[in-house]
Amino acid sequence: MAYFRSIPQLRKMLELLSRDKRWLILINADPDAMASAMALKRIMIHRVQDVSIAKVNAVTRPDNLAMVRYTRLHMERWYPGILPHYDRFALVDSQPHHHPAFRDVPFSIIIDHHPLPETQAQADYVEIKPEYGATSTLLTEYLYNLDIRPAKLLATALQFGIKTDTASFERHFYDVDLRAYQYLARFADHVLLSRIARSEFHRRWLDLFAKACTNMYDIGSGQYVYVGDVDNPDILVILADFLMRVYEIRWAAVGGKYGDTVVIIFRGDGIARDVGSYASQLFSGIGSAGGHKSMARAEFPASTAGGEDMELFIWKRLRQPLRRPKAAREKGAEAQGAETQAKKGQGTEPPLPGDSATAAGAQKKGHGKP
């Protein structure tokens, strides 16, 4: 049994490569896209006059920056005037409708694993495999079919691409993704892969970790944190994921202000609370909000608070009662009444954000700032 599928249509792609053509590979840079572009460049390098990689976005996440540094990946910055410098164009880990910069580029090659649109993109060579967990898996198959052994840095990059797009095989993946990862392990630098994957934080973010850990507010079985202005909303995602590593925390909401927009990242165990529904019910009326049971996001204009302290504004919304189906309301009515009676005389409500005296008094009860 072959390790990977046979890809006879690869001949069609190779026929597009000639030594008198200059190629540009376009990507929306993330680990899977960057690794896939590196692999396609390796396939092209000895078959064309020149090949470059260009990105339409800025690379800012620490792990992505580490990947660029340690794999020695060079990428051009996309701008419309770059088109005349190249003869042919390829797109990997994206489709033309994914980004405005892609729409008017005459692509000859498109390789991706994201869902197909109603109208499929047109190019001389197109392979889109939504049943794959990563485009890096597709390009690993290409290398294998062309008898190209990936060098150490390329194999490491492809492994990281598969690792990130499958969330270390915790998100949807397929047997072929696992086979590709295992195959690449023969050639990759595992110490380097670990170094890239562990590059999770910028040094300037450490103050926000301290702020988050000392400004948590209990909301039922979850925690709410507001860290104020941030230079990149990615830190809110990282903080929310970090809080979910704490055993006692069942779900977390981490908010911050990015420019004129307030962003709240929700993470949960998917059991104690459906954070996607929670975010949607509380914030979709003032902005965009939604997600899944364990992951969600809300965004709204900062002006919505009308001058009210933003930390308090969000806290009040997070404590609003949620709408429940009628059957669930009836089933829980008796239990809820008993719970209300039991809570009488147990002390004060959780403190308001910013009320340091109340928060200090509530610490012993498990409320307010730790």
Judged against a pLDDT cut of 80, whether residue 108 lies above it is answered with yes
Report which of residues 18 and 122 the model is more confident about.
18
* pLDDT score of 184 more than 60: yes
In this predicted structure, which of 19-33, 56-70, 147-161, 338-352 has the lowest mean pLDDT? 338-352
Give yes or no for a contact between 315 and 353, defined as CB atoms under 8 angstroms apart: yes
3-class SS of residue 33: helix
Q: What is the mean pLDDT of residues 333-355?
A: 53
pLDDT at 332 over 80: no
pLDDT of the residue at 354? 59
Residue 109: phi, psi to the nearest 5?
A: -135, 130
Domains of the chain: 10-197 (3.90.1640.10), 207-323 (3.10.310.30)
Q: Is 161 exposed, middle or buried (0-12, 13-18, 19+ CB in 10 A)?
A: buried
Q: Which of 218, 253, 246, 244 is closest to 368 using CA atoms?
A: 218
- Higher per-residue confidence, 292 vs 93: 93
Helix segments in the chain, DSSP class H: 10-15, 31-44, 62-70, 135-145, 152-165, 175-184, 190-197, 206-214, 234-243, 275-283, 310-318, 326-343, 356-362
CA pair distance 104, 70, nearest whole angstrom: 33
Q: Check if the beta carbon of residue 68 is closer than 8 Å to that of residue 59.
A: yes
Residue 319: count of CB within 10 angstroms of its CB: 14
Say if residue 221 is exposed, middle or buried (CB neighbours under 10 Å; 0-12, 13-18, 19+).
middle
